[in-house]
Amino acid sequence: MTKLTVAEIAELAPAGWVIVPGGLRTRLRTGSFPAGLALVAAIGAVAEELDHHPDLDLRYTFVDVRTSSFDVGGVTRRDLRLAGRIGELAAAAGVALDPAGVARLEWGLDTPGQAGVAPFWAAVLGLTESEDELVDPAGVQPTVWFQESGSEEPRQRWHPDLWVDPAQVRSRIDAAVAAGGTLVSDADAPSFWVLSDPEGNRMCICTWQERG
Instruction: Indicate whether 160 belongs to any domain.
Output: yes
In this prediction, residues 80-96 reach a mean pLDDT of 98
Q: Which of 154, 151, 125, 147 is nearest to 138 (CA)?
A: 125
Q: Which of 124, 90, 109, 118 is nearest to 159 (CA)?
A: 109
Asked if the model's pLDDT at residue 154 lies above 80, the reply is no
Whether pTM exceeds 0.95: no
Number of domains, the chain: 2
In this prediction, residues 57-71 reach a mean pLDDT of 96
Which residue type is seen at 190? P
* 3-class DSSP assignment, residue 180: coil
In this prediction, residues 98-121 reach a mean pLDDT of 94
Instruction: Indicate whether 212 belongs to any domain.
Output: no
* 3-class DSSP assignment, residue 154: coil
Query: Residues 60, 131: one domain?
Result: no
Query: Residues 195, 134: one domain?
Result: yes
Asked if the model's pLDDT at residue 163 lies above 70, the reply is yes
Question: Can you give the pLDDT at residue 28?
Answer: 98
Which residue type is seen at 203? M
Instruction: Indicate whether 1 belongs to any domain.
Output: no
Output the average pLDDT for the chain.
94
